[in-house]
Structure 1
Amino acid sequence: MDGFKLTWSVVVLVGLLVTTVNVAAWKKDEFRRCDQSAFCKDTRNREPGSSNLEVKDLKIADGVLRARLVPSDAGGGGTTEQGGGGGEEEGDLVLEIKAYKNGIVRLKVTEEKHPEKRFEVPDVLVKDLEDKKLWLQRFVEKDDGSSMVHLGGHDVILQHKPFQVHVKRGSDLVLSVNSKGLFNFEKLREKKEGENWEDRFRTYTDSRPYGPQTVSFDVSFHGTEHVYGIPEHATSLALKPTKGPNISSEPYRLFNLDVFEYISESPFGLYGAVPFMLSHSADKSAGFFLLNSAEMQIDVLASSWDTTPSIEMEGEGGSSKLLENGNKEKIVDTHWIVESGVFDAFVFVGPSPKDVVTQYCAVTGTTSLPSLFSTAYHQCRWNYKDEADVAAVDAGFDEHDIPYDVLWLDIEHTDGKRYFTWDPILFPTPKEMQAKLSAKGRHMVTIVDPHIKRDDGFPLHKEASSKGYYVKDSGGNDYDGWCWPGSSSYLDMLNPEIRSWWADKFSLSSYVGSTPILHIWNDMNEPSVFNGPEGTMPKDALHYNGVEHRDVHNAYGYYFHMASVEGLLRRGGGNERPFVLSRAFFAGTQKVGPVWTGDNTADWTHLRVSVPMCLTLGLTGIAFTGADVGGFFGNPDPELLTRWYQLGAYYPFFRGHAHLDTKRREPWVFGEPYTTLMREAVHSRYSLLPYVYTLFKEASVTGVPLMRPLWMEFPEDISTFERDEEFLLGPSLLVHGVYSQGATSETVYLPGTQKWYDVKTGATYPAGQKVNVPVTMDGIPVFQRAGSIIARKQRRRRSSTQMETDPYTLVVALNSTYEASGELYIDDGKSYDFEQGAFIHRQFKFSKGRLTSTTLAPVKTGSKVFTTSCLVERIVILGVRAKDLAIGKNAIVEHDERRIETDIGPPLLQRGASSTALILRLPNVRISDNWSIKLV
């Protein structure tokens, strides 16, 4: 269940006033501004240079560089005590610098006196990270008052007074911490008589029992004008400045919230938080990640944001130092303000954007390889009302020849909004219902949220309450908030014991009525609390080991997601890949499961903003993501819905979804021509599943996302740095949506130096410039990159499962030297046998008139084997020379001298397409074999 819609009885009980779907529902006054949060208000306007810490007692122990950070004078800044002080009696700060393989630096600052009271986020970093640690042996003290640690291709320079950290790659400065002197660490201390630590917002009071404990600092990205990341916000891909001359904006907020009908072009935080930012310029990229799950506010500072001179790193070049040619260095300064926790930061030195993402994912994990079915189309609605409705929707897809793989049930399928139950009247035979879907190779998803109905007759609640498994309020009692069931409590998922207990609830014996084809949806896990401050849990609520909710808030949904995934893993005996969708997320979510962009709206603006939102998630490691096709709120007209299907077919996660109060909008509801148009959009996704699945494999190994900004593949092309209306799906497909009603053309920028081919017509377009592309309702502009080979499956089936043995079509798009290459990854699509060698990984190359297939799999891959009898039934070659299009041209399968029938025709059998492709029919070579085919 999404959104923030209550019955009137609940409204009366909780005292909320919530507008209906038909009224503009964004109420910014219901959410805090920076100046309404004590930690942000007190910190945002700190003066540059106000941090006056210096480094003392530098030494290396156990391969780690350690030092104390102390105030330079008795009343110095950098450690504050509610506006002043911070002397030695509170204990110094402890700095640690670590390095890891492949360009990763870790900077950590915590309290010497109270380290156990500062929360450090568990279960986010990969388990083997410390195995990749580089053991530091020595540092060099320099005459300019700094020390340097040389790490091969990059260096860490620690300036002693004032404290600053600078990271260089080669001779190139890429990132600095505290070069603007904004580092501030509020130490824990005893409350003084007369002090009031409470923080009030509207009718809510946060007791703040441990007082101010803000951590704030500046990070400067050198040699760049663009930074990206820190989702989730409904705004542009390149982050706009929030502070500076003539700029009056809120900072980018990272605080997971259930935002009812969110607006676009806003720095306001939504359902998830990933404190990872990366910069990119034509010659370098860098990244910064803060491992902290408390609320944070981040300013991107405009040029000339401060008129006072910046603090320079003597001898190494500060942020305002003139370059040798007299030009001022390009730089983006950012200011990070975090409510609590520690400073535990990672710096990634690149140099390419793919390198940065891979380095980040080496720390937090890569996207888990999903089941093949989950990469296909999903059909959802709040709510399919009963088993007859489910059967009718399922039959509708078959009747209209539209494939789909997963049908979803929202909260109304339960018995009184009690999770792991079924409404006995509406869903009396859930196993039989699922069996009918399974017979067609389809699956089902049901919703399971973190709020548990407080009902003594509900065994789940009774057991959780008796075991003390709920989050406590500030008084130590089970926290009682309001959500869909009414009075609800929330499981303390920070506790590993409770996560394990929860996982057992997904067993087939415990979740009565479930079957192995049933998968899970975690919604409302920010957590959403209808009568809580800002619609979430109070910050002074208490978790496992006395941790305050303020410390763990942004990771709560991640832990809930983690526990649900563990449940499906246990149910499948550890060898069935789970599918669990989550709305809330944090750093590391990618290794658990997919997310989506939440409760969007059926308008053209939200269609447009879905692209930068998904791109940003991909840049921060979360590759399996998408937006609700059609918009969750509101009623799309048939043109908007069609355009959304055409774009959504290229999201990594492809799901249609709608609010309870909207009109039905299954893809056949509007009739012709829209049914045909949406059918073709869905079929286009199914034909690309081999390519999409191969990209998921790449993401699972490297972290590089499926959905990529243009500059990820063309990093030197400055024209791409602010483009976010188009994107690349993998390296080979460029997609540009249609974002306005009645559009007849779109201006598309095609990067690179090689031409691009229209995927439907085969028509070519030049690279390195903007082109005006005519559009009709038949589709959106999609192009295949010259020099690429894409494997497709063109047969039309009911589901991806039924495509398992279908033959392949290889689409070869030749570049200017008449060459091309591509890859294909195949496994069983459902188990973890691929980890033991049960997979096929092929490389296709076309050169000098010959197409070859060779294996990319290691000679010895493991104890298991995967085989397939699938054949290649068609090879389509785009961009061949005129002489190769001559009638009667032959091709030969070289290992058996077998001649293949050739023809010229449309590339994908599209009517009206340009006949520019050479088609090799029925080569009938096995997709898993080594072979070569030569044009003669």
Structure 2
Amino acid sequence: MIINTELKQNHNLFPGKVISFSQEEGKVNFLTNNEVILQVTVLKDSVVRFRYATDNNFEKDFSYAIENGSPKEYFDAKVEEHENQYSIHTNTIKITIQKDDLGTTIYDHHDNVICKDDLGFHWEQSYEHGGNIVKMSKHAPLGELYYGLGDKPMHLNLKGKRIENWATDQYAFSKDQDPLYKSIPFYIGMYEQRAYGIFFDNTFRTFFDFCKERRDVTSFWAPGGEMNYYFFHGPNMQDVVTQYTDLTGKPELPPLWALGYHQCKWSYYPEKEVKEITSKFRELKIPCDAIYLDIDYMDGFRCFTWNKEYFPDPKRMVAELAEDGFKTIVIIDPGIKIDKEYWVYKEAIEKDYFCRRADGPLMRGKVWPGECYFPDFTNPEVREWWSDLFKEIIDEIGVKGVWNDMNEPAIMEVPSKTFPDDVRHDYDGQPCSHRKAHNIYGTQMARATYNGVRKFVYPHRPFIITRSAYSGAQRFTSSWMGDNVATWEHLWVANVQMQRMSMSGMSFTGSDIGGFAEHPSGELYARWIQLGVFHPFCRTHSSGDHGDQEPWTFGEEVINITRKFVELRYQLLPYLYTMFWEYAEEGIPMLKPLVLFDQSDSQTHYKTDEFIFGNQILVCPIQEPNSKGRRMFIPKGHWYNYWTREFVKGGMERWVDADIDSIPLFIKEGAIIPKYPIQQYVGEKRIEELRLEVYYKLGNTETSRVYEDAQDGYDYTKGEYSLRSFSLTGKETEVIIEQIVEGNYITEYETIRVECIGLPFTIGKIEVDGVMVPFDTENNTLVIPKVFAKLHLTS
């Protein structure tokens, strides 16, 4: 993209002068003398949509990123006309639109400039493909920082980078390689502690330049489609992410087992090997909830079939695995083998459900089964047909989840790695080329898969995982970061990618623990498992080409380390489940980079290693070999070292010991961390007691929450949940903990065991709602009824 002042001389490329404006149904339209329309829609006080048309006519308003295709709620904006500009006011921002060129500036209620056009909207006619190349450039003040854009394997702060969004199969990708598997055209800008967000909802190949070409300009563009973007005002970064997630959609709660540990390899077969793997987990007492079957479980890689030589009775096998606590997850790819005897192929041919080239022939490409055709998942009839295909594997055989791979879509043995541009798609009744449909193909496949699994696993909740995704995919699926590599550099990459994905509205993500390509050392695997248990999706996966990658393949020390940290994850399941509830209910990201946690501290702006797990646990992985610890930054406030219980003052760097069996882990003062007993899988044991670790804080009240329900099913949507809100107030000689319980779900445990950490006094008296209770001096805990309003500890 070339941006210079000479472009201003070409009036065909820029809006002319505004000649009129009109207002209806929350939309304000500004028309120029060269038939450009700017449509401004105020969705909420802090969410505004900007949409441009260059021929006095908008395309049909439709988006896969937004539930039901487009936003439905509007805010009646107040418009004022001035001599040289118009202004639109909400309760939090003011937008000005210049009369001479449609240039926009957004101010907060203190008249600080939040986001200002540079050249603003401009375009070129695309003579190769037709339509427009649409462009937007914004002024970038010195010191503005940029975050977001999904799975990019580069520094968290994108200042100085040029980014491309084109979902691409990148086996064994490297640090800073771009593009990768996902296209999430949403970024966060921050200047002088004020954050905003921009979501460029355009499914064509999109580009973002963060001051790389010009140090005072940030720009984004696409070689087709509309200039259609949403602006989100903070000023808090977390509010920006929450607003974006609210617009593009929040997920439903997963079954609790989906948050356990998962084991995968390319490939576990035959049945005997699957059983050996699952039995070994139980023998070694390493908790595990899910076992994955890769493409070799199929008959000749034909989706929705079973290789009866490897798996002669899949229904029996899946049932036996379930008896031992393992949920079976199977892979399903989009490529359907060209085979006249194959029932899925025959149905799709009869119904004309495969993608076609522009001049008529079916789109043919080579993937694992050989020559394949590909369903057009942008056709609602195809999505419905695809969802029905899951009846046998879900309803009859008992598989609990589905893993969508190769859905960028990936094609072998062609330079582009994907479909040709001329492939045609239905696009929900708005026919288009693959140039427009490519980036949302994987999400629409995951959507169809979700609908099918949900239909047949009901009354339980579905579990879907996808490799490719566009904005809004979080409504249907979890995700992983694709084919990473067993290197220390990729451990760093995985850490950054998970933080970035959470900032980009897709929190339910993880990496292939240990690396997919090549084989990790025992030390690298141990360090990766320590990080992976603090990612929302936790799965070991490998190609198997360079040796097995189960925990026991690395020796006794790594077995013990793996057990220790996977057990910690299972203990923290109520904390993790509460994190997910806050994400699903309120759009709060599950992982928070330090800049998201405390943007007011400039020391957090360039940190990549550390993150906040939920709201109160600080995690800092060891990312170099032979380390006995590391220097890390402790955010402002006070924290407790999880392992030593040492009280630490934040706002500075310090050395933290962390030998091979440890990871730097700190708990925010005032936090109340819930824990369950260790289980080998979710549901193995009756939860007889909730444990609360209370970390003393002097002064202001700190609030913690614990969300619980039946761990599966949909009764929680009918009020069958329990939400405990704890507030802690600490004084020099007393601690008061108050509890408020919402919801109708009755937990199976009757008591809560409380452990107090960091008290500056010796407990002399304990009262629960005015009644004295004893203190277990041997275990340094107290056991109280689960239903209480006030717990009072005094010296």
Per the normalisation by structure 2, the TM-score is 0.95
**One-letter code aligned to 2:15:** L
Does the CA-based 8 Å contact 2:262-2:540 persist in structure 1? yes
Q: How does 1:152-167 map to 2 (within 5 A)?
A: 152-167=91-106
Q: How does 1:791-830 map to 2 (within 5 A)?
A: 791-793=674-676, 795-817=677-699, 820-830=702-712
- C-alpha separation in 1, matches of 2:702 and 2:31: 56
Task: Work out whether 1:125 is the aligned partner of 2:66.
Answer: yes
For residues 769 and 419 of structure 1, do their structure 2 counterparts lie closer, same or farther at Cα, with a shift above 3 Å needed?
same
Provide, for residues 713-764 of structure 1, a one-character-per-residue CA deviation record: whole Å limited to 9, x for no partner.
21211100110111110110000010111012211101113x2111122122
- C-alpha separation in 2, matches of 1:461 and 1:638: 44
- C-alpha separation in 1, matches of 2:375 and 2:575: 40
Secondary structure of 2:699 counterpart: coil
**One-letter code aligned to 2:728:** F
- C-alpha separation in 1, matches of 2:698 and 2:634: 16
Question: Which residue in the other structure is 2:20 paired with?
Answer: 57
Displacement after TM superposition at 1:844 (Å): 1.7
Does the CA-based 8 Å contact 1:282-1:717 persist in structure 2? no
Displacement after TM superposition at 1:803 (Å): 4.4
Provide, for residues 474-502 of structure 1, a one-character-per-residue CA deviation record: whole Å limited to 9, x for no partner.
21221001111110111111111110111
Q: What is the identity percentage for the equivalent residue pairs of Structure 1 and Structure 2?
A: 28
For residues 281 and 871 of structure 1, do their structure 2 counterparts lie closer, same or farther at Cα, with a shift above 3 Å needed?
farther
Task: Work out whether 1:868 is the aligned partner of 2:747.
Answer: yes
- C-alpha separation in 1, matches of 2:151 and 2:649: 35
Task: Work out whether 1:252 is the aligned partner of 2:252.
Answer: no
Displacement after TM superposition at 1:101 (Å): 1.9
Does the CA-based 8 Å contact 1:893-1:932 persist in structure 2? yes
Displacement after TM superposition at 1:222 (Å): 5.5
For residues 784 and 299 of structure 1, do their structure 2 counterparts lie closer, same or farther at Cα, with a shift above 3 Å needed?
same
Question: Which residue in the other structure is 1:774 paired with?
Answer: 657
Secondary structure of 2:302 counterpart: coil
- C-alpha separation in 2, matches of 1:285 and 1:273: 22
Task: Work out whether 1:521 is the aligned partner of 2:403.
Answer: yes
Candidates 440, 447, 467, aligned match of 2:324: 440
Candidates 291, 297, 302, aligned match of 1:413: 297
Question: Which residue in the other structure is 2:135 paired with?
Answer: 216
For residues 771 and 480 of structure 1, do their structure 2 counterparts lie closer, same or farther at Cα, with a shift above 3 Å needed?
same
- The structure whose Rg is larger is 1
- C-alpha separation in 2, matches of 1:418 and 1:115: 43
For residues 368 and 446 of structure 1, do their structure 2 counterparts lie closer, same or farther at Cα, with a shift above 3 Å needed?
same
Question: Which residue in the other structure is 1:147 paired with?
Answer: 86
- C-alpha separation in 1, matches of 2:462 and 2:472: 16
Displacement after TM superposition at 1:355 (Å): 1.0
- C-alpha separation in 2, matches of 1:758 and 1:539: 54
Question: Which residue in the other structure is 2:189 paired with?
Answer: 279
Secondary structure of 2:561 counterpart: helix
Task: Work out whether 1:560 is the aligned partner of 2:445.
Answer: yes
Provide, for residues 614-672 of structure 1, a one-character-per-residue CA deviation record: whole Å limited to 9, x for no partner.
11111111010111100000110000000000111101111000003131121112222
Question: Which residue in the other structure is 1:689 paired with?
Answer: 573
- C-alpha separation in 2, matches of 1:750 and 1:377: 28
- C-alpha separation in 1, matches of 2:633 and 2:549: 33
- C-alpha separation in 2, matches of 1:121 and 1:662: 46
Please state which structure has a larger fraction of its residues in strand: 2
For residues 659 and 70 of structure 1, do their structure 2 counterparts lie closer, same or farther at Cα, with a shift above 3 Å needed?
farther
Secondary structure of 1:214 counterpart: strand
Task: Work out whether 1:572 is the aligned partner of 2:457.
Answer: yes
Unmatched runs of 5 consecutive residues or more in structure 2: none
Task: Work out whether 1:932 is the aligned partner of 2:781.
Answer: no
Secondary structure of 1:183 counterpart: strand
Q: How does 1:504-903 map to 2 (within 5 A)?
A: 504-508=388-392, 514-515=397-398, 517-544=399-426, 545-573=430-458, 575-753=459-637, 755-793=638-676, 795-817=677-699, 820-847=702-729, 848=731, 849-857=734-742, 865-881=744-760, 883-884=761-762, 889-894=764-769, 896-903=771-778
Displacement after TM superposition at 1:49 (Å): 4.3
Candidates 153, 167, 170, aligned match of 1:234: 153
Does the CA-based 8 Å contact 2:134-2:222 persist in structure 1? yes
Q: How does 1:299-310 map to 2 (within 5 A)?
A: 299-302=209-212, 305=214
For residues 131 and 494 of structure 1, do their structure 2 counterparts lie closer, same or farther at Cα, with a shift above 3 Å needed?
closer
Secondary structure of 2:304 counterpart: coil
Displacement after TM superposition at 1:572 (Å): 3.1
For residues 924 and 341 of structure 1, do their structure 2 counterparts lie closer, same or farther at Cα, with a shift above 3 Å needed?
same
Secondary structure of 2:406 counterpart: coil
- C-alpha separation in 2, matches of 1:120 and 1:269: 27
Secondary structure of 2:272 counterpart: helix
Q: How does 1:186-585 map to 2 (within 5 A)?
A: 186-187=124-125, 197=128, 208=129, 211=130, 213-220=132-139, 224-242=143-161, 251-266=162-177, 268-302=178-212, 305=214, 333-508=217-392, 514-515=397-398, 517-544=399-426, 545-573=430-458, 575-585=459-469
- C-alpha separation in 2, matches of 1:564 and 1:56: 49
Question: Which residue in the other structure is 1:248 paired with?
Answer: none
- C-alpha separation in 2, matches of 1:339 and 1:294: 7
- C-alpha separation in 2, matches of 1:750 and 1:735: 10
- C-alpha separation in 2, matches of 1:875 and 1:429: 48
Does the CA-based 8 Å contact 1:746-1:772 persist in structure 2? yes
Does the CA-based 8 Å contact 1:407-1:443 persist in structure 2? yes
**One-letter code aligned to 1:776:** D
Provide, for residues 168-219 of structure 1, a one-character-per-residue CA deviation record: whole Å limited to 9, x for no partner.
1113344445x2215323357xx7xxxxx3xxxxxxxxxx3xx352111113
Question: Which residue in the other structure is 2:108 paired with?
Answer: 169
Secondary structure of 2:306 counterpart: coil
Displacement after TM superposition at 1:283 (Å): 2.9
**One-letter code aligned to 1:685:** R
Displacement after TM superposition at 1:265 (Å): 2.5
Secondary structure of 2:728 counterpart: strand
**One-letter code aligned to 2:642:** V
- C-alpha separation in 2, matches of 1:662 and 1:930: 57
Question: Which residue in the other structure is 1:183 paired with?
Answer: 121
For residues 826 and 512 of structure 1, do their structure 2 counterparts lie closer, same or farther at Cα, with a shift above 3 Å needed?
closer
**One-letter code aligned to 2:684:** Q
Does the CA-based 8 Å contact 2:767-2:793 persist in structure 1? yes
For residues 699 and 102 of structure 1, do their structure 2 counterparts lie closer, same or farther at Cα, with a shift above 3 Å needed?
farther
Unmatched runs of 5 consecutive residues or more in structure 1: 1-39, 72-91, 192-196, 198-207, 243-250, 307-331, 905-918
Secondary structure of 2:775 counterpart: strand
**One-letter code aligned to 1:658:** S
**One-letter code aligned to 1:305:** R
Does the CA-based 8 Å contact 1:282-1:718 persist in structure 2? no
- C-alpha separation in 2, matches of 1:335 and 1:46: 15
- C-alpha separation in 1, matches of 2:606 and 2:345: 50
Does the CA-based 8 Å contact 1:726-1:735 persist in structure 2? yes
For residues 264 and 810 of structure 1, do their structure 2 counterparts lie closer, same or farther at Cα, with a shift above 3 Å needed?
same
Per the normalisation by structure 1, the TM-score is 0.81
Provide, for residues 68-103 of structure 1, a one-character-per-residue CA deviation record: whole Å limited to 9, x for no partner.
2444xxxxxxxxxxxxxxxxxxxx232211001241
- C-alpha separation in 1, matches of 2:144 and 2:182: 26
Question: Which residue in the other structure is 1:75 paired with?
Answer: none
Does the CA-based 8 Å contact 1:186-1:213 persist in structure 2? yes
For residues 235 and 141 of structure 1, do their structure 2 counterparts lie closer, same or farther at Cα, with a shift above 3 Å needed?
same
Displacement after TM superposition at 1:255 (Å): 0.2
